[in-house]
Structures are given as C-alpha cells and as structure tokens.
C-alpha cells in the first residue's frame, strides 16, 4: 500500500510541477499573444499599431495623427529578456517599434528572447502570422 501511494505521489509531482521548458513556453506564448493583440488592433482598428519590448515590459503604441501614443503596457514575466530584433532580415535597435499595418500584411520579423536562460523566438511573416519558435 505504501509503495502504491509513493508511486502515485511521484507521478503527480512530475505532472503538477512544470519543467523550466514548460514555464518558458508559457511565458513566450504570452508575449506572442500580446503581439497578436497589437496586430489584431491594427487590422480591426484601421490604423497602424506597434509594440516595443524593453525594461521588462511590452508596450503597445497607437498612431494618433502623426505621432505615436502609448497604449497598453504589460509587464513581462521575470526572466524574460529581449536579445535581438530582426525586421526583414536586418538587425534593428531593440528599442525600435515593431509595426503592424491595418491591411494585415507586414514585414517579416524575428524577436529573439531569453526566457529563463533558454533562447526562444517569436516570428512574424508577411501574411501577418505570428508564431513561437522553440530553442
């Protein structure tokens, strides 16, 4: 009986305590969802939107007239850090805004992030799809 309880507890512990990779995937997926939100806001709002990643935050920006106005500001999970930003194959300053156009089409991008010591990326293609790329 004690052996059966021990096996059940061991199996439950493995399933209830997520691995670092599972936690990192959840955190990077959250960042990708925030980027998709900005993309969708551009599509449905009919005006360009942008995001920036810095200082432990993801900020949305709305084009208001000729200038950018800050929008939603989301803290990133501890341990999520921007490594590099590529737009159309060119490395960009990480402080640059990643732009989403209202026509749904965009320039391919890759946001490389370090999440809990693992390297992950979020990629966007010209058709507007956003996806998470495993390490």
d(C-alpha 84, C-alpha 12), whole Å: 38
Range of the domain at 77: 27-133
CATH (domain of 129) = 3.55.40.10
**Average confidence score pLDDT of the chain:** 89
- pLDDT of 71-94, one tens digit each? 999 999 998 999 999 999 999 998
In a domain, 103, yes or no: yes
- pLDDT of 37-65, one tens digit each? 999 999 999 999 999 998 899 999 999 89
* Average pLDDT rounded to a whole number, residues 112-131: 93
**How many domains are there within the chain?**
1
In a domain, 11, yes or no: no
* 118 to 22, 27, 60, 84: CA distances (angstroms): 11, 12, 25, 14
Q: How confident is the model at residue 2 (pLDDT cuts 50, 70, 90)?
A: low
pTM of the model: 0.83
């Amino acid at each position: 009986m004690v052996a059966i309880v021990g096996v059940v507890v061991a199996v439950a512990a493995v399933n209830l305590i997520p691995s670092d990779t599972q936690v990192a995937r959840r955190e990077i997926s959250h960042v990708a969802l925030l980027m998709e939100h900005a993309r969708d806001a551009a599509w449905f709002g009919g005006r360009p939107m942008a995001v920036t990643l810095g200082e432990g935050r993801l900020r949305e920006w709305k084009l208001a007239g000729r200038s950018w106005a800050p929008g939603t500001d989301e803290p990133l999970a501890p341990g999520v850090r921007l490594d590099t930003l590529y737009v159309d194959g060119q490395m960009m300053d990480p402080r640059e805004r990643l732009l989403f156009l209202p026509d749904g089409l965009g320039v391919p991008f890759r946001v490389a992030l370090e999440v809990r010591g693992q390297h992950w990326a979020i990629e966007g293609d010209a058709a507007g799809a956003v996806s998470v790329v495993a390490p």
